[in-house]
């Protein structure tokens, strides 16, 4: 019978192990025995082994102080800031980039408003006032943090209920969705072609005919592309992400479960990828950076902003995604558009995810008009 690892005495750590992350940083990890007898794994990432170890030691020390002094003292008179800190450290099981967003919501919006209040004193109208006073773009993350942390507080007996359950719904501001016109598409592509950067041009062109998120395009591997299938297809299986813990990396799953999908390619997209395959097939990724690695969001966006032109100063890849969606909707309706975009639900405000079987999404026929616009631009360029 195999023997497991020896149990650690409370307050002690196990041996430290190291690994290199896909982003080139070092991650140190070890087991830590908390004062209540439970054992947890602690991790820290930095640019060198020594820095990662130093950060790991600090985290272990903080965790012991936290669990030994704080968790045993949490009560209805605890500050909201202390309860949120405990929840984020011990109860919040999300992707690292989501944890970053939650931490920002806590530090920037929630703690300044109610951080010094006692947890048991918070009523629905306090949270209602908070959520109606912050920028609309911050509401979603703040709602998630408050709902989950107060649910924990109720479960631990720190609050008599979850006040978030009685908060008024936040009315969404309706904004008119504006897609790029055919003439605007042509002018934008003319500007981008002046860069002479094939990666920039090809990524934007593929976004126009697939509606992919830029992280999904930059995260494409040649094993995700089947140009010999009938019809040719793209399989969306990952995306490029960034978080403060691990840095930039390719995540082996897209944004949501429903974002895993297979798209039939329009001929214009096939030609773009065939051209790249001829030049770049020896790389794992379809769009390698100059260093031969995955290209990161920030670098691509910087390049796009540099060459898009003054006329398109407010245009990002998301506007291209909206242009694709408008074209798809006109020709194929909402269901096909939703499937192609990889949305979990029709209404972006809806927070419920549903399970589904993967389906091949037919977009090639619907994009014939988009193809005419893109090919019209090429002919116009040749005349010049």
State pLDDT tens for residues 70-82: 555 678 888 999 9
The pLDDT score that the predictor gives to residue 221 is 95
Considering the four listed CATH numbers 3.40.630.40, 3.40.50.720, 1.10.150.130, 3.30.930.10, the one that applies to the domain covering 78-170 is 1.10.150.130
In the predicted model, is pLDDT for residue 14 greater than 60?
yes
Which DSSP symbol is given to 18? E
For the full predicted model, state whether its pTM sits above 0.75: no
Sign of the dihedral through C-alpha 286, 288, 292, 298: negative
Q: Helix 297-307 crosses helix 182-193 at what angle (to 10 degrees)?
A: 100
Q: Where are the beta strands (DSSP E) in 163-295?
A: 225-226, 233-236, 239-243, 247-251, 261-264
The pLDDT score that the predictor gives to residue 178 is 79
The pLDDT score that the predictor gives to residue 350 is 26
CA atoms of 353 and 357, how far apart (whole Å):
13
Please count the other Cβ atoms lying within 10 Å of the Cβ belonging to residue 3: 5
**Of 271 and 349, the one with more pLDDT:** 271
Please list, residue by residue across 204-243, b when 16 or more beta carbons sit within 10 angstroms of its beta carbon and e when fewer do.
bbbbbbbbbbbbbbbbbbbebbebeeebbbbbbbbbbbbb
Q: Where are the beta strands (DSSP E) in 140-246?
A: 225-226, 233-236, 239-243
Chain segment 229-266, per-residue pLDDT in tens:
999 999 999 998 888 777 788 888 777 777 888 999 98
Q: Where are the domains of the chain?
A: 1-73, 78-170, 182-383
CA atoms of 340 and 234, how far apart (whole Å):
11
CA atoms of 173 and 135, how far apart (whole Å):
11
pLDDT band for position 164 (cuts 50, 70, 90): very high
The superfamily in CATH containing domain 182-383 is: Intergrase catalytic core (1.10.443.10)
What value does the mean pLDDT of the chain take? Answer: 84
pLDDT band for position 349 (cuts 50, 70, 90): very low
**Of 66 and 239, the one with more pLDDT:** 239
| Tokens found for residue 124 | 């629905």
């Amino acid at each position: 019978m195999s023997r497991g690892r020896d149990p650690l005495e409370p307050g002690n750590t196990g041996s430290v192990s190291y690994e290199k992350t896909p982003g080139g940083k070092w991650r140190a990890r070890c087991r830590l025995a908390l004062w209540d007898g439970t054992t947890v794994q602690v991790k820290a990432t930095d640019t060198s082994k020594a820095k990662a170890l130093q950060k790991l030691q600090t985290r272990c020390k903080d965790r012991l102080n936290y669990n030994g002094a704080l968790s045993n003292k949490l009560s209805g008179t605890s500050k909201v800031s202390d309860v949120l800190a405990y929840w984020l450290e011990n109860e919040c099981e999300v992707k690292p980039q989501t944890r970053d967003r939650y931490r920002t919501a806590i530090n920037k919006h929630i703690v300044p408003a109610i951080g010094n209040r006692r947890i048991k004193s918070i009523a629905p109208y306090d949270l209602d006032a908070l959520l109606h006073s912050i920028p609309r773009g911050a509401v979603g993350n703040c709602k998630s943090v408050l709902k989950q942390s107060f649910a924990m507080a109720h479960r631990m007996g720190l609050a008599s209920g979850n006040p978030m359950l009685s908060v008024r719904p936040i009315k969404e501001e309706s904004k008119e969705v504006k897609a790029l016109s055919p003439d605007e598409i042509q002018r934008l592509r003319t500007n981008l072609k002046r860069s002479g950067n094939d990666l920039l041009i090809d990524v934007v062109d593929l976004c126009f005919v697939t509606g992919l998120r830029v992280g999904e395009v930059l995260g494409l591997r040649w094993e995700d592309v089947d140009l010999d299938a009938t019809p040719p297809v793209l399989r969306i299986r990952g995306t490029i992400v960034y978080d403060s813990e691990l840095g930039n990396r390719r995540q082996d799953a897209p944004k949501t479960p429903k974002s895993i999908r297979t798209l039939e390619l329009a001929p214009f997209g096939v030609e773009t990828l065939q051209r790249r395959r001829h030049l770049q097939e020896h790389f794992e990724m379809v769009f390698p950076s100059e260093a031969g690695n995955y290209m990161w969001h920030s670098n691509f966006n910087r390049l796009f902003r540099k060459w898009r032109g003054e006329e398109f100063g407010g245009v990002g890849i998301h506007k291209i995604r909206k242009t694709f969606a408008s074209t798809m909707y006109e020709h194929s309706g909402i269901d096909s558009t939703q499937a192609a975009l990889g949305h979990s639900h029709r209404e972006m405000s809806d927070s419920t995810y549903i399970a589904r079987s993967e389906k091949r999404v037919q977009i090639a026929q619907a994009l014939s008009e988009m193809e005419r616009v893109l090919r019209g631009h090429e002919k116009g360029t040749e005349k010049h």
